[in-house]
Copies of this chain bind each other. A is one copy, B any other.
């Protein structure tokens, strides 16, 4: 991983299409409240909701395939099985002993579930399995973007002016860190670009058959959730960042 801020920013930009695509996919189905109700999964002997079951089953196989060995892939569920694969992660340049210290999944899940009644048409269309399948894909796309940003943007910015950051970290000045990490003009540019993409990605949609997602909805979600949660996790990274080089030549996970 080349730790240059412009490079990280373009990689983050490349994840926008995936997030938007997943949200549009989910919007093709109704809210389907029943898929989120406990004891209504249709699975014999399971108390959780269909959504919870799908998320856990999916993360179990993802874990077996090594997804969570990658720093920006943080799980939503606990007690996952170990990977069965040899996953070779190149030196990330990050300075964090425990990747799980940076995990915003609870907050991502909560805000995403809160978005569904606005994203999707009301009611039930019976497509519970497809709905929760797309939920999991949307959540994973957002988690990847938020954690990738949190880890690598924070490390890049730290390296630019380590003394300044050390002062704020030592003083426990969280507000100072947030302020230092905030560039309003960059955030506005991202939000505008996301809105443009939502528009153009649906330009040829046949509205008789595909539900169209309003650009403003995804823009608001970026403004109120994705960007602030990323920043909150950047602060968490900086506060937990190792001040001395880790033992060994490089951090692998």
A76-95, CB under 8 A of B: which get 1 and which 0?
Answer: 00000000111110100000
B206 near A14 (CB under 8 angstroms)? yes
The answer to whether A43 and B10 touch (CB under 8 A), given A66-B129, A193-B204, A204-B193, is no
B206 near A42 (CB under 8 angstroms)? no
Is the CB of A44 closer than 8 A to any CB of chain B? yes
A90 to B28, CA, bound (A): 19
Q: Size range of the interface on A?
A: 35 or more
B87 near A208 (CB under 8 angstroms)? no
Q: Which one of A57-65, A151-159, A216-224 is at the interface?
A: A57-65
A25 near B14 (CB under 8 angstroms)? no
A204 near B209 (CB under 8 angstroms)? no
B87 near A209 (CB under 8 angstroms)? no
In chain A, positions 96-154 with a C-beta closer than 8 Å to chain B are: 126, 129, 133, 137
Is the CB of A252 closer than 8 A to any CB of chain B? no
Set of chain B residues within 8 Å of A208, measured between Cβ atoms: 10
Partner of A14, one of B46, B67, B209: B209
A200 near B210 (CB under 8 angstroms)? no
A21 to B58, CA, bound (A): 21
In chain A, positions 151-208 with a C-beta closer than 8 Å to chain B are: 193, 196-197, 200-201, 203-206, 208
A147 to B193, CA, bound (A): 37
Is the CB of A47 closer than 8 A to any CB of chain B? no
A61 near B64 (CB under 8 angstroms)? no
A18 near B14 (CB under 8 angstroms)? no
Of the A-B pairs whose beta carbons lie under 8 Å apart in the complex, a sample of 15, sorted by A's number, is A13-B206, A17-B205, A18-B25, A42-B87, A54-B65, A57-B65, A65-B133, A66-B129, A137-B137, A193-B204, A200-B201, A200-B203, A200-B204, A201-B201, A203-B203
